[in-house]
Amino acid sequence: MAKKKAPAKKATAKKKTTARKAPPARPEYNASAAASANMTKRDSIYVNFKEPGTVLARILPRLDGNPAIFYKSVLHYKMKDPDDLDRGIALGCLDHHDNSFCYACAVADWLAGQENQAWAKMGKGFGSFEASDQVYVMGWVKNVATNEWEGPKLINVPAGPKGIAPKLTRKLSTAEDQRRPSFVDYDKGETLALIREGTGRNTEYDVESTGEFISMDAVDKNWLAKAFKDVDKVLDVKVWDVATQREVMELSHPKLPWAQIDAEVPMGYDS
């Protein structure tokens, strides 16, 4: 009996919904402060612009004496961790990080010049063997859900001509021209809104003033003790010697013609 009843019920329910004109579907409303706070939670020291959004940042100058405000790492991607081949890693470019001969650069150049299109492709462009620049600023970020400052953070700023890095440089330059403290000043610096809008080809970046001038002591009274003193170390750039680079690259890409590479790609400036 119960079995007979059930399908009949279903049929009437179906009739009801089809009879009524359905309003256009809207995305389910499920905004959560906890989930938003989670996005910028303390245990992650990195902030990036992989998604559209605004980051409120109080940026610091470098604390290692370098007058640039940016930290840059130059990395060769698409490598595997020799201790765990399931884990992707990037090799630090020796040319940039050690001012010495970089084997990964040499192999990227060699590949880029090959007739084999698959190899040539591996040699150039983002995400290939060719080294790619990652530019960071250090600062404290305001969590908009809790209105609290969190830091220190390493903010990975897009460095292309229309990215965030050149806009920060322009702001710094304006402050220099006007002989006034810039946004990185310990006491008189300004909170900036770092903005990404859109995705893909429509992505645009902007840097806006917020009018909030706040001393670092007010942001976090322990900021100086907490701030990263050696950012390269924090970024964990793998500045490995040429022999180790060679080993990692072969382990990561065993199908490349390593005998030919060994014969044609030098292992140092003099070889």
Query: What is the nearest approach in angstroms of Zn ion to the Cβ of residue 166?
Result: 24
Query: What is the nearest approach in angstroms of Zn ion to the Cβ of residue 102?
Result: 3
Distance CA 220, CA 240 (A): 36
Instruction: Show the tokens assigned to 2.
Output: 């119960």
Query: What is the nearest approach in angstroms of Zn ion to the Cβ of residue 158?
Result: 21
Could you say whether residue 90 binds Zn ion (CB under 5 A)?
Answer: no
Residue 59 or 131: the one with the smaller Cβ distance to Zn ion is: 131
* Residues 246 and 267 sit within 8 Å (Cβ to Cβ): yes
Could you say whether residue 131 binds Zn ion (CB under 5 A)?
Answer: yes
Binder to Zn ion among 93, 137, 157, 256 (CB under 5 A)?
Answer: 93
Helix 242-252 to helix 103-112 angle (10° resolution) is: 50
Query: What is the nearest approach in angstroms of Zn ion to the Cβ of residue 95?
Result: 5
Binder to Zn ion among 59, 60, 90, 102 (CB under 5 A)?
Answer: 102
Binding window for Zn ion (CB under 5 A); candidates: 53-61, 92-100, 121-129, 174-182: 92-100
> CA 58 → CA 22, 55, 254, distances in Å?
48, 10, 45
- Binding residues for Zn ion, total number by CB under 5 A: 6
Of the candidates 74, 79, 85, 100, the one whose C-alpha atom is nearest the C-alpha of residue 237 is 74
* Residues 195 and 208 sit within 8 Å (Cβ to Cβ): yes
Could you say whether residue 107 binds Zn ion (CB under 5 A)?
Answer: no
Query: What is the nearest approach in angstroms of Zn ion to the Cβ of residue 130?
Result: 8
Residue 144 or 265: the one with the smaller Cβ distance to Zn ion is: 265
Could you say whether residue 104 binds Zn ion (CB under 5 A)?
Answer: yes
Query: What is the nearest approach in angstroms of Zn ion to the Cβ of residue 79?
Result: 12
Strands (E), the chain: 46-47, 53-59, 71-81, 84-92, 132-143, 148-156, 190-197, 204-213
Residue 125 or 198: the one with the smaller Cβ distance to Zn ion is: 125
Distance CA 252, CA 246 (A): 10
State the burial class of residue 33 (Cβ atoms within 10 Å of its Cβ: 0-12, 13-18, 19+). Answer: exposed
Task: Tell me which residues touch Zn ion (CB under 5 A).
Answer: 93, 95, 102, 104-105, 131
